[in-house]
């Protein structure tokens, strides 16, 4: 049966890559539902060897709701559900009961691409007895690469220099920072934060401090753990790589900025709402914050006009991981999670095991 998806009718949009009727009765395979077809990696064929795979087109939330309902009614139940898409694709902006409800309670694994899952109702997924797994490794590596580019460029003041040349003024009067001697504070030493720290260490950064919920057992011995208040007071550059949670939403605000060094530099590759943009604009205008480099924004794709007009701000439209070329490795990680779950009962990167254990 063809794996292509037609946009013309809901019945033709369903694309099973293995026909149930073609399987011998003795070779039952669990069913997996994907939106998006293939990751473009070796894991696509490996999954189809052990599971019946059904694919839905990449469409938005409202279009996807009836498609999931129909495929569950006609072909379900499914043991796992995964999303194969890029941030530039059309895809459901949230994963909640309204979208995924028909898959429960039989579906025991949901896997999304990328590290972040603030758009996923993990509490609801947990309530159904299922796991949610993210795919942080590949996107983490690429986001760390993008973060390093932003860190180095903002420390050197590349954006104001670029604007000065374009205005016919040649060099701008810019104070630079040397990453070899500046104290660089990383907030959130998870996968991305750790890789950023390793990249900085590899180019000679000698003073790296970090804050996470707890000291990291995998941190380099030279990296110093700090409380938030201590990090604010010591860091010349603050790099945000933390997840968006109730605790980190609005973390960078008037109150926290007041605790930072005068002339601090701020880089955000985490989530936009970690920073209160109006407070950052005020701090930039006053000189409290010397420069900022932002890949994410509080109300994407809208950007605060005070950031747009400030020559000391480097703006990047959520492209730190280079999304145009990250599809195969990131989506391959989604498929690999599903394979491991089918083979062992456990995906590679579950995020809610603790909550599941608490619920028994």
- Tens of pLDDT, residue by residue over 327-338, are 888 899 999 999
The residues annotated as belonging to the active site are: 271, 300, 318
Averaged pLDDT of the chain: 90
In 3-state terms, what secondary structure has residue 248?
coil
The yes-or-no answer to whether 31-135+331-358 and 139-315 have a common fold is yes
Q: Does domain 139-315 have CATH number 3.30.460.10?
A: no
What is the pLDDT at residue 27? Answer: 67
- Tens of pLDDT, residue by residue over 111-142, are 998 888 888 999 999 999 999 999 988 888 99
What is the pLDDT at residue 213? Answer: 92
> Please, which residues have CB within 8 angstroms of residue 270's CB and are 6 or more apart in sequence?
188, 240, 241, 242, 243, 244, 248, 296
What residue segments make up the domains of the chain, in order of their start? Answer: 31-135+331-358, 139-315
Q: What's the pTM value of the predicted model, to 2 decimals?
A: 0.77
Percent of the chain residues topping a pLDDT of 90: 79
Q: What CATH architecture is 31-135+331-358?
A: 3-Layer(aba) Sandwich (3.40)
- Low-confidence stretches of the chain (pLDDT beneath 50): 1-26
- Tens of pLDDT, residue by residue over 191-221, are 899 999 999 999 999 999 999 999 999 999 9
């Amino acid at each position: 049966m063809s794996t292509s998806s037609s946009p013309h009718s809901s019945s033709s949009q369903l694309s099973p890559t293995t026909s149930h009727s073609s399987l011998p009765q003795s070779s039952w395979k669990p069913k997996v539902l994907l939106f998006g077809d293939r990751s473009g990696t070796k894991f696509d064929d490996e999954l189809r060897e052990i599971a019946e795979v059904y694919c839905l087109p990449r469409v938005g939330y409202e279009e996807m709701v009836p498609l999931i309902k129909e495929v569950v009614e006609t072909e379900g139940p499914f043991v796992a559900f995964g999303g194969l898409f890029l941030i530039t694709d059309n895809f459901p902006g949230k994963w909640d009961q309204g979208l995924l409800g028909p898959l429960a309670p039989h579906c025991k694994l949901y896997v999304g691409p990328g590290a972040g899952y603030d758009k996923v109702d993990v509490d609801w997924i947990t309530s159904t007895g299922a796991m949610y797994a993210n795919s942080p490794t590949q996107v983490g590596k690429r986001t760390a690469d993008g973060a390093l580019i932003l860190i180095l460029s903002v420390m050197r003041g590349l954006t104001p220099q670029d604007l000065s040349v374009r205005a016919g003024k040649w060099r701008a009067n810019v104070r630079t920072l040397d990453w070899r001697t500046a104290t660089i504070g990383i907030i959130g030493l998870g996968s991305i934060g750790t890789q950023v720290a390793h990249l900085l260490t590899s180019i000679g950064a000698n003073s790296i401090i970090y804050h996470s919920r707890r000291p990291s057992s995998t941190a380099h011995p030279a990296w110093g753990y700090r409380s938030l208040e201590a990090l604010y007071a010591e860091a010349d550059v603050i790099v945000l790589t933390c997840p968006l949670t109730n605790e980190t939403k609005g973390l960078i605000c008037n109150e926290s900025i007041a605790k930072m060094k005068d002339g601090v530099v701020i880089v955000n590759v985490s989530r936009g709402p970690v920073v209160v943009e109006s407070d950052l604009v005020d701090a930039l205008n006053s000189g409290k914050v010397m420069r900022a480099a932002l890949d994410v924004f509080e109300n994407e794709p809208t950007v605060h006009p005070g950031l747009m007009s400030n020559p000391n701000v480097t703006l990047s439209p959520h492209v730190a991981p280079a999304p145009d070329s990250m599809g195969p490795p990131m989506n391959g990680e989604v498929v690999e999670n599903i394979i491991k779950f089918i083979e062992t009962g456990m995906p590679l990167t579950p995020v809610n095991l603790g909550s599941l254990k608490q619920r028994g």
